[in-house]
Amino acid sequence: MRNTAMNMVHKLAARDERVLYIGSDPGAGTLRAMSEEFPKRHLIEGISEAHIIGMSAGLAMEGFVPYVNTIATFLTRRCYEQVAVDLCLHNLPVRLIANGGGLVYAPLGPTHQAIEDIAIMRALPNMTVICPCDADEAARMMEQTLDWKGPIYIRLGKGGDAIVSRAEHGFEIGKAILMRPPGDVLMVTTGIMLQRALAAADLLAAQGIRAGILHMHTVKPLDTAALLQAIRGTRLVATLEEHVPSGGLGSAVAEALIDKLGSGFPAMLRLSLPDRFMHNYGSQDSLLKKHGLSANAIATSIEHALAASRPPSPQLHST
Amino acid sequence: MIQISPHAEAALTCTLDERSLYLRRLVLGSVRSAGRGHVGPALSLIEMVRVLYDDVLRIDPKNPGDPDRDRAILSKGHGCLALYALLADRGFFPLSELDGFCGPDSILGGHPEYGMVPGVEASTGALGHGLSIGVGLALAARMRERSYRTFVLLGDGEINEGSVWEAAMGAAKHGLDNLVALIDYNKLQSYGPTDYVLPLEPLADKWRSFGFAVQEVNGHDVGALRTVLKQLPAVAGKPTAIICHTVKGKGLPAAESNADWHHKNKLTDSELEAIRVAVGDF
């Protein structure tokens, strides 16, 4: 996914001279082909994220569209005030390409695990937050970023994620994609939780449970209309995210349901990472499994939640 | 042993001409109307802003979006009263706006906002942002082959921020000789002396070692400021840092080098009288 997104920057740069790549201190050879073809628009500015964001704001004020790229935690935690003031307050078209969203850097520990990035980026006025699920979707997404007004935070996965997005669904920023029709449960996913949701849906189907999937690649602005349409007739809305419980997709969905419906919406199940830093290493998959976000664990949690939300059986009330 | 710059001594003793007094009357009139304002930081800055807007910047108040205009960013946004006075006087907006400072419907807030105030190039207030934005503007000028220059006004307390030094390294890397950092070196920040809060000396050597061509000047000497700012870049291929030795609260004896006047709420009758004595009726 990362390589695809990077190559798309090069492709967009070839098409549009406003496009810049700005890296802090990325891996050797990052976008080498672009650096050779467009050396003046391939900028490596050092481990100085606060400065890079401000500099990108200045470049965007003059009509450029900078694509700023580094590790997700450094692009969010380190320079949050610059993102808020320089980018969001001025509403400038800077794109933040965040490597290693969620637990991609599991072996590197909590300094490198972006587990609250969606929440803090989503909290900023004017910011758009996108989490593509695979490389193909990342490519379609990048096509849409060129002329989007305002800043965008792009949370990238590891790379090599199974391709589950489909070209016929297209990609539009802010428009969710219905991957499976709603049934007993609607799973709402973002990023690479879609792959787990699809596998969980198959497991649930084997148990006779119909599971729908709404892929919310854009967490902000949230596609509330698609959400309200998809929950009709379902008994349970389950949100799946590689993120702490506060402020991410689950929060966004709950807020939308409360704001639009107030009451009378299906039961909700928010599946997420716990509200703590990860002190285990291993892999993205192993940490997701540990915290109940494997396909099996998701399916089991949904089964339990459906059982708990079932209306009381009449027999239980008869004496 | 750190030597006191002769420019700093000159800043303490130099007198102000009628235009400088007039601009102070505008600033203090806004403070009187609003019942609040950063007085000391604005008064130290006035001559720097005055010379920029009167004599140096290639700008047209009737066309503030001219792509070839020089850019100026007040990175120490809390000094905005000085900027507002100059912008109003130069015709970017009516002088009457100054009376509405910080009011509910005013365009003029306690820190300057882009899009709200004609002539303001960037929203500032949070410190340590302006120089990086300036690097972006200056780099864009080079990439677009435009001749505009970028000036960034920084406070001495502001350069406590590490982001300023990140920006300085970036400016030097790109050899941005179309970028000028002016440091309002009044040696007094909110809590107290810069030497106490976080010592900056040797300040000129710091900027020099970060790759800037450095000039030092009495920041209240209009003629000296003109001379320095008319000879840019100071060194071809290098960004310029101009350390302007100033006096916080300059022109108002009660406020000079007095941290209590960093931000002032409602002015008392005796303070208003002292202002009249110092700068004239306002």
pLDDT, tens only, A100-151: 999 999 999 999 999 999 999 999 999 999 999 999 999 999 999 999 999 9
CB B229 within 8 A of CB B56: yes
pLDDT at residue number A159: 85
Q: Which of A21, A42, A48, A55 to mutate against chain B (most B CBs within 10 Å)?
A: A55
**A178 and A145 both lie in a single domain:** no
Last residue of a domain, one of A155, A180, A212: A155
Q: What is the pLDDT of residues A212-261, one digit of tens each?
A: 999 999 999 999 999 999 999 999 999 999 999 999 999 999 999 999 99
**A288 and A194 both lie in a single domain:** yes
Least CB-CB distance to A54: which of B121, B132, B144? B132
Rounded to an integer, the average pLDDT of A194-213 is 98
Q: What burial letters (b/e) apply to B212-247, b meaning 16+ CB within 10 Å?
A: bbbbbbbbbbbebbbebbeebbbeeebbbbbbbbbb
Cα dist. A221→A10, A226, B28, B136, B183 in Å? 27, 12, 45, 28, 41
**A81 and A118 both lie in a single domain:** yes
Q: Give kind and range of the element (H or E) at residue B208.
A: helix B203-209
Q: Give dist(CA B150, CA A195) in Å, integer.
A: 49
Name the residue range of residue A85's domain: 2-155
Confidence band for B2, pLDDT divided at 50, 70 and 90: low
Average pLDDT, chain B: 96
In terms of phi and psi (left: phi > 0; alpha: psi -120 to 50; beta: otherwise), the region of B79 is alpha
| pLDDT > 90 fraction of chain B, expressed in percent and rounded | 98
Closest to B133 (Cα-Cα) out of A62, A24, A77, A75: A62
Task: Answer yes or no: is pLDDT of A319 > 70.
Answer: no
B127 touches chain A (CB under 8 A): no
Last residue of a domain, one of A108, A129, A155: A155
**A171 and A83 both lie in a single domain:** no
Torsion angle in degrees (nearest 10) through CA of B76, B77, B78, B81: 110
Domain count, chain A: 2
Q: Give kind and range of the element (H or E) at residue B213.
A: strand B213-218
B167 touches chain A (CB under 8 A): yes
Cis peptide before A266 (omega within 30 of 0): no
Q: What is the CATH number of the domain that holds A240?
A: 3.40.50.920
Q: What burial letters (b/e) apply to B4-14, b meaning 16+ CB within 10 Å?
A: ebebbebbeeb
Q: What is the CATH number of the domain that holds A64?
A: 3.40.50.970
Residue of B nearest to A56 (CA): B136
| pLDDT > 90 fraction of chain A, expressed in percent and rounded | 94
| pLDDT > 70 fraction of chain B, expressed in percent and rounded | 99
- B163/A51 CB distance under 8 A: yes
Rounded to an integer, the average pLDDT of A52-62 is 98
**A203 and A68 both lie in a single domain:** no
Amino acid at B144: R
In a domain, A136, yes or no: yes
pLDDT at residue number A315: 53
**A32 and A113 both lie in a single domain:** yes
Torsion angle in degrees (nearest 10) through CA of B33, B35, B39, B43: 10
Task: Answer yes or no: is pLDDT of A311 > 80.
Answer: no
Q: How many CB atoms lie within 10 A of CB A289?
A: 16
Q: Give dist(CA A226, CA B17) in Å, integer.
A: 67
Extract the tokens encoding A218: 């854009």
Burial of A52 (0-12, 13-18, 19+ CB in 10 A): buried
In a domain, A162, yes or no: no
- A54/B137 CB distance under 8 A: no
**A96 and A195 both lie in a single domain:** no
In terms of phi and psi (left: phi > 0; alpha: psi -120 to 50; beta: otherwise), the region of A104 is alpha
- Minimal C-alpha gap between B165 and chain A (Å): 9
User: Rounded to the nearest 5°, which phi and psi values hold at A220?
Assistant: -140, 125
Q: Is A314 helix (H, G, I), strand (E, B) or coil?
A: helix
User: Rounded to the nearest 5°, which phi and psi values hold at B151?
Assistant: -115, 130
Q: What is the pLDDT of residues B87-116, one digit of tens each?
A: 999 999 999 999 999 999 999 999 999 999
The partner residues of B215 in beta bridges, in order of sequence, read B242
Rounded to an integer, the average pLDDT of B208-227 is 98
Q: Which residues of A touch B138 (CB under 8 A)?
A: 58
Going by C-beta distance under 8 Å and a sequence separation of 6 or more, which residues neighbour residue A193? A133, A240, A241, A242, A293
CB A42 within 8 A of CB A31: yes
Average pLDDT, chain A: 95
pLDDT at residue number A290: 96
Q: What burial letters (b/e) apply to B151-160, b meaning 16+ CB within 10 Å?
A: bbbbbbbbbb
Name the residue range of residue B238's domain: 6-279
In this prediction the pTM is: 0.96
In a domain, B94, yes or no: yes
**A186 and A225 both lie in a single domain:** yes
Confidence band for A317, pLDDT divided at 50, 70 and 90: very low
**A123 and A231 both lie in a single domain:** no
Q: Which of B71, B133, B152 to mutate against chain A (most A CBs within 10 Å)?
A: B133
- B136/A85 CB distance under 8 A: no
In a domain, A318, yes or no: no
In a domain, B1, yes or no: no
Q: What is the total residue count of chain B?
A: 282
pLDDT at residue number A314: 52
Q: What is the CATH number of the domain that holds B169?
A: 3.40.50.970
**A181 and A303 both lie in a single domain:** yes
Domain count, chain B: 1
Going by C-beta distance under 8 Å and a sequence separation of 6 or more, which residues neighbour residue B271? B254
Q: Are strands A185-189 and A211-215 parallel, antiparallel or unpaired?
A: parallel
Q: What is the total residue count of chain A?
A: 319
Reading across the β-sheet that carries A267-271, which strands appear in turn? A177-180, A211-215, A185-189, A236-240, A267-271
Task: Answer yes or no: is pLDDT of A29 > 50.
Answer: yes
Task: Answer yes or no: is pLDDT of B1 > 60.
Answer: no
Rounded to an integer, the average pLDDT of A165-177 is 97
Torsion angle in degrees (nearest 10) through CA of A150, A156, A161, A163: 10
In a domain, A319, yes or no: no
**A294 and A224 both lie in a single domain:** yes
pLDDT at residue number B4: 77
In a domain, A314, yes or no: no
Last residue of a domain, one of A130, A155, A180: A155
Rounded to an integer, the average pLDDT of B42-55 is 98
Extract the tokens encoding B18: 């009628």
Confidence band for B172, pLDDT divided at 50, 70 and 90: very high
**A128 and A84 both lie in a single domain:** yes
B48 touches chain A (CB under 8 A): no
Number of Cβ pairs < 8 A linking chain A and chain B: 95
